[in-house]
Amino acid sequence: MKEGNKMEDKKYYISTAIAYTSGKPHIGNTYEIVLADAIARYKRLQGYDVYLQTGTDEHGEKIELKAKDAGVEPQQFVDDVAGTIKDIWDIMNTSYDKFVRTTDPHHKKVVQHIFKYMYDKGDIYKSEYKGLYCTPCESFWTESQLVDGKCPDCGRDVEVKSEEAYFFKLSKYQDRLMEYIDTHPEFIQPESRKNEMVNNFLKPGLQDLCVSRTSFKWGVPVDFDDRHVVYVWVDALSNYITSLGFDVNGNHGELYKKYWPADVHVIGKDILRFHTIYWPIMLMALGQPLPKQVFGHPWLLVGGDKISKSKGNAIYADDLVKYFGVDAVRYFCLNEMPFAQDGTITWELMIERINSDLANVLGNLVNRTISMNNKYFGGEIQCPKVKEDVDQELVQLALDTPKRVEKKMDELRVGDAIGEIFTLLKRCNKYIDETTPWTLAKEGNTERLGTVLYNLLESIRIAAIQLGAYLPETSEKILNALNTNHRDFASCEEFGMLEVGNKVVEKPEILFARIDAKEMLDKINADAEAAKKAKEAAEVKVEKKEEITFDDFMKVELKVGDVLSSEKHPKADKLLVSQIDCGNGDVRQIVSGIAQHYTPEEMKGKKVVVVTNLKPAKLRGVESQGMILAGDTADKLSLVTADLPNGTVIH
Ligand code: ME8
């Protein structure tokens, strides 16, 4: 291979679907970025120049309605949810290079260019759409697609709807796409899903796709006909190229020139049709190369049921991490999910896997090997001098494991790749049983003992390097504990790279502690119960009050006041008695229920907002001449403060 080609081959662009900003993503959505992250990290360890892109899909009627329900502007709503999504991706230690948002001005501008380009080319035309519409899914369906007369995706009612719309001539490109799929057998993964796409959608013939809407506003406007917004799929799918600097006129940015076409789009099985039919056809219309592969991964189910907020069975990554730590959650998702069939998650299963795989097999092996090396050799890594036949199998497996992992990763079988590493770890445990180092120590067979421990530590080093893509923190902890500088894939090609004479860490950290299942499940249930109560309490509080007039509101006199001093109420733990200067010589005493959130010292000097015309009242025997404004949740209270002079009227 020529050097030039080699360099080019060494780049790798991988993307996830962009998540809807309709709410907090559950563990199923989160699985996808963890999966893509594991592949991306693996490729980086192989020496590829990787670009991992993820992000959020922020337009559409559903989001517009959600924002309305929440009483905020759509932009505010999507900003908040996109923030939550990014936080969860970060909690999961995912190494994305770009987080794209479809409300980014640049993305919107390029989507408009793409739409116009396809319109000018005659691939998009204006017509009338009439069909059965499911609002939550934002999808039109034909009669034959309905299941029991309801939306085939969500099972809800559909309604007859008609609107003027732009259409995209999918049918024009049908044959070309068919040929592409035929000549690129690796394009759709897994294979079974390819057949589904070809037989269910392509062979029956493609209908032109409706690509604009007039029934809502929250979308990218069609710039030459602004009654229309671009329908979400054209907007959403374009993210894979807008972010790289794609330009319809061919003046592409550097990232586009370097990374397009994508090596793999990692997406869920439900949106495979959009990615293997609509998206390639859009790219054909734009005259651009198609992605090399689309991987439609299966879904994570909760005990066998679809994860759903309304069913109340949703599990969230941040909760899991709170109890088990990041790498345990990454391990569970990656290892538990089959390549093509759906996987299952429950709290019980999670605990089971942590105990059996992470604590017993991995944690225990690392801990006892390092401890033995400390006990018998003061931590110093020994030179392996006395080799025996029993070593051969372990050494060979340690050398083969990286190749086996690579093979699985080439097929995107991430769970199986992890399985290969665990096969090596289990073999190490068996080797301890076979060689019984404690007996060698008792017999004073020091050189053989040193060899056995070397073989174990070296096998652990190779396993830890291989784990780097899946459990990055754990991998690093182990390599630090081994005190080795040989941490790259190349150093796994030889058995014996662990530095003789170095000292392993004195007290190895417990990587994964065994969990008492009952105790943990009780705690999880108690926390869930408490959270539910707090939520209910908060909901009661925000119950809507009766409408008032402006005059009603103006009856309340609100002024800025300076807290001069504050002390505990003599008879009530929850109350503070404060002296507040409300300006123009108006110093008054106010009793408030804030003692559990603010100390008297913290109160001093605060500029609070006071209701000054409230009828005075006695609280547990102490007179209160007004009220301080504050907001509170189940466990937090915050005073309303204003950086204004005393006596300033608030309105
Ligand atoms: O579909 N297990 O967004 P989304 C595994 N905005 N993966 C799951 C899952 C589960 N239980 N549930 C959902 C969208 N997913 C669009 C994508 S791309 C240009 C636009 C996956 O927030 C789902 O299959 O509904 C999808 O790949 C991803 O989570 C985001 O889903």
Distance 370 CA to ligand 1 centre (A): 42
Of 460, 542, 532, nearest to 495 by C-alpha is: 460
pLDDT averaged over every residue in the chain: 94
Of 50, 75, 54, nearest to 64 by C-alpha is: 75
**Quick one: which atom of ligand 1 is closest to the CA of 17?**
18
Find out whether the beta carbon of 102 lies less than 6 Å from any atom of ligand 1.
no
Distance 131 CA to ligand 1 centre (A): 25
Distance 267 CA to ligand 1 centre (A): 7
Give residue 134's pLDDT. 86
Find out whether the beta carbon of 391 lies less than 6 Å from any atom of ligand 1.
no
Q: How confident is the model over 199-221, as pLDDT tens digits?
A: 999 999 998 999 999 988 999 99
Residue 402: is its pLDDT beyond 60? yes
Give residue 8's pLDDT. 53
- CB atoms under 10 Å from CB of 393, counted, come to 13
Give residue 3's pLDDT. 42
Find out whether the beta carbon of 271 lies less than 6 Å from any atom of ligand 1.
yes
**Quick one: which atom of ligand 1 is closest to the CA of 343?**
2
Q: How confident is the model over 219-255, as pLDDT tens digits?
A: 999 999 999 999 889 999 999 999 999 999 999 999 9
Give residue 541's pLDDT. 64
Distance 29 CA to ligand 1 centre (A): 6
Residue 413: is its pLDDT beyond 80? yes
Find out whether the beta carbon of 210 lies less than 6 Å from any atom of ligand 1.
no
Distance 274 CA to ligand 1 centre (A): 12
The pTM of the full predicted model, rounded to 2 decimals, is 0.82
| pLDDT bracket for residue 129 (50, 70, 90) | confident
Distance CA 231, CA 210 (A): 8
Find out whether the beta carbon of 57 lies less than 6 Å from any atom of ligand 1.
yes
pLDDT over 90 percentage in the chain = 84
Read off the pLDDT of each residue in 509-531 and give the average, rounded to a whole number.
Answer: 95
Residue 273: is its pLDDT beyond 80? yes
| pLDDT bracket for residue 2 (50, 70, 90) | very low
**Quick one: which atom of ligand 1 is closest to the CA of 268?**
24
- Pocket test of ligand 1: the residue of 16, 22, 29, 30 to mutate, having most ligand atoms within 8 Å of its CB, is 29
Find out whether the beta carbon of 234 lies less than 6 Å from any atom of ligand 1.
no
Residue 85: is its pLDDT beyond 80? yes
Q: Where are the beta strands (DSSP E) in 284-360?
A: 294-297, 300-302, 343-345
Tokens of 229: 């917004």
For residue 271, what are the contacts with CB-CB under 8 A and spacing of at least 6? Answer: 17, 296
Residue 365: is its pLDDT beyond 70? yes
Distance 31 CA to ligand 1 centre (A): 10
Residue 154: is its pLDDT beyond 90? no
Distance 173 CA to ligand 1 centre (A): 26
Give residue 140's pLDDT. 76
Find out whether the beta carbon of 625 lies less than 6 Å from any atom of ligand 1.
no
Distance 47 CA to ligand 1 centre (A): 29
Give residue 543's pLDDT. 60
Helix axes 27-45, 317-324, angle to 10 degrees: 70
Residue 7: is its pLDDT beyond 90? no
| pLDDT bracket for residue 634 (50, 70, 90) | low
Give residue 264's pLDDT. 98
Higher per-residue confidence, 631 vs 25: 25
424, 347 Cβ separation under 8 angstroms: no
DSSP 108: H
**Quick one: which atom of ligand 1 is closest to the CA of 307?**
11
Distance 514 CA to ligand 1 centre (A): 33
Find out whether the beta carbon of 82 lies less than 6 Å from any atom of ligand 1.
no
**For 8-22, 369-383, 510-524, which range has the lowest pLDDT when averaged over its residues?**
8-22
Residue nearest to atom 9 of ligand 1 (CA): 28
Sign of the torsion formed by the C-alpha atoms of 563, 564, 570 and 573 = positive
Q: How confident is the model over 427-475, as pLDDT tens digits?
A: 999 999 999 999 999 999 999 999 999 999 999 999 999 999 999 999 9
Q: How confident is the model over 166-187, as pLDDT tens digits?
A: 999 999 999 999 999 999 999 9
Q: How confident is the model over 437-450, as pLDDT tens digits?
A: 999 999 999 999 99
Q: How confident is the model over 278-324, as pLDDT tens digits?
A: 999 999 999 999 999 999 999 999 988 999 887 889 999 999 999 99
Read off the pLDDT of each residue in 562-579 and give the average, rounded to a whole number.
Answer: 93
- Pocket test of ligand 1: the residue of 271, 272, 341 to mutate, having most ligand atoms within 8 Å of its CB, is 271
Rg (CA), the chain: 31
| Strand, coil or helix: 562 | strand
Give residue 183's pLDDT. 96
Find out whether the beta carbon of 270 lies less than 6 Å from any atom of ligand 1.
yes
Sign of the torsion formed by the C-alpha atoms of 430, 431, 433 and 434 = positive
200, 269 Cβ separation under 8 angstroms: no
H helical segments located in 73-122: 74-91, 105-120
Distance 298 CA to ligand 1 centre (A): 10
**Quick one: which atom of ligand 1 is closest to the CA of 20?**
22
DSSP 216: -
